[in-house]
Structure 1
Amino acid sequence: MSRPSTPFVLGRGEVARRPTSAPAASVSSVVPPRAQVDIVRTAQRELRNPDEYVREISRLWREAQQSFLAIGRYLVQAKRKLAHGEFQRMVDASLPFGRQTAYELRMIAEAVDGGRIPEPKLPQAASVAYQLATLKPDDLAAADQEGLVRPDLRRPEIITWKRERLRRSAGANHESLTRRRVRLAEIIRRHEEELEKARRELAELDETIGAKVINGEVEEQN
């Protein structure tokens, strides 16, 4: 004989089973409508196979992405509309995260709404989305071309890519500086040769006309 299933109720931050001895009650009669929605969204179900776990976890992950983007947009709006100093006081005193997190979420929202990162391609983790949002335009374009601007991008991947790009950029910059140094050395060498030639010619002229040049003026020798 199978045991009857027991309904779930929301406990303190987790889902708990309602005691079987307690009389059944309609959720709608004891829980406000908004709380009913929260129960539906947070209640755990017994899943049966990897596909179901992937599907459910991915759904919740997408909702998390939508949440951090919406929070970032509200932060952008608040910073724009609140009086000077009021925004920072609100972040410091009243929000459940600090200045750095608020800054990162704003940068993400501005990158999306500014057209730098298409919303459908925004990474699903805020920390990863921030890594893209703070790239320079040329770097972001390169990341997109190389397939890194996508929802399933992971933090180790973008960090490794940034380090490699910095290394390549430093190498290219070193080569450019080396070529510039060679060109400047060649310019100096040519001018030194011309200067030495001019000095020899000047000395020959001095001997020919019996004069010497002092401070740009010709002084006749006795």
Structure 2
Amino acid sequence: MSRQPSSFVLGRGEVARRPSTPAIPTAPVSVAGVAPRSQVDIVRTAQRELRNPDEYTREISRLWREAQQSFLAIGRYLVQAKRKLAHGEFQKLVEASLPFGRQTAYELRMIAEAVDGGRIPEPKLPQAASVAYQLATLKPDDLAAANQEGLVRPDLRRPEIIAWKRKRLRRSSAVNHEALARRRVWLAEFIRRHEHELEKARRELAELDEARGNRLIINGGAEEQD
């Protein structure tokens, strides 16, 4: 009859000296129907201890650039989907399947079209989607002016572009007001000048009618005498 091996128990000192066994990584578990995060996602969003302002600046800027690349890629896929999907399928995709709504989808498409259409150089694209959209929806003249004034750049902030647009709108309104005032003066002078010409024409027409009437009377009287 074979003997069962006795349990092997370590003493306290032996336990302390024994190297720790690495934990076996376990696969992420789905909770309440939520899909487990991939190892890539976990590594991408993991935090590490930073030590000084320069490190924080570099790390946050890196993540911000990745966010910029993501929203531009999403916009390009949306443009592609709208072009390739059958009528009605794109709207159904946005409304029923995507994690954002129609307005966000529209903004991302406008950004992608502005970049791929050459209106905004990709290296100059603002790093925030909401700011990039503000540039993407500018009229060609306004976008050219914004670029000339140094607003088309990656670190452009939303308050800056909003303030610039308001200032330009006020400036445009002032220019339009002056142009309208000049146009009004010209029209008033045009009417005055032509009213004078019309009055002269009316008097001349009346004189011609009077002369014609007198001639008819004279000619009629002469015929009666004959």
Do they superpose with TM above 0.5?
Answer: yes
Q: 1:59 to 1:189 in 2, by over 3 A?
A: same
130, 138, 159: which one aligns with 1:135: 138
Q: Which runs of 5+ in 2 are unaligned?
A: 1-19, 29-36, 222-226
Q: CA deviation at 1:66?
A: 0.3
* 2:182 partner letter: R
| Aligned-pair CA distance for 1:210 | 7.5
Q: Deviations over 1:165-214 (max 9, x none)?
A: 1111111111111111111111111111122223344555566x3738xx
Q: Distance in 2 between matches of 1:130 and 1:157?
A: 14
Evaluate the alpha carbon distance shift between residue 121 and residue 210 of structure 1 in structure 2; reply closer, same or farther with a 3 A threshold: closer
**Cα deviation per residue 1:50-88 (whole Å; 9 max; x = unaligned)?**
111111111100000000000001111111111110111
In structure 2, relative to structure 1, the CA distance for the partners of 1:81 and 1:210 (3 Å cut) is closer
Distance 1:38 1:201 in 2: 91
**Alpha-carbon distance, 1:156 to partner:** 0.6
Q: How far apart, in 1, do the equivalents of 2:175 and 2:113 lie?
A: 31
What is the rounded CA distance, in whole Å, between the counterparts of 1:174 and 1:219 in structure 2? 57
* Aligned residue pair count: 192
SS in 1 for 2:38: helix
Give the corresponding residue for 2:114: 111
- Tell whether 2:175 aligns with 1:172: yes
User: In the alignment, does 2:60 pair up with 1:57?
Assistant: yes
Q: Name which of 13, 23, 26 aligns with 1:25.
A: 23
Mapping for residues 11-160 of structure 1, pairs under 5 Å = 24-25=22-23, 27=25, 30=27, 35-160=38-163
Structure 1: 5+ residue runs without aligned partners? 1-21, 213-217
Number of the residue aligned with 1:9: none
Q: Kindly report the root-mean-square deviation, in angstroms, between the aligned alpha carbons of the 2 structures.
A: 2.4
The structure where strand makes up a greater share of residues is 1
The alignment-based identity, stated in percent, is 83
Q: Which has the higher contact order (CA 8 A, sep 6+)?
A: 2
Provide the rounded CA distance (Å) in 1 between the counterparts of 2:68 and 2:104: 15
Structure 2 residue identity aligned to 1:211: G
Offset at 1:35?
2.7
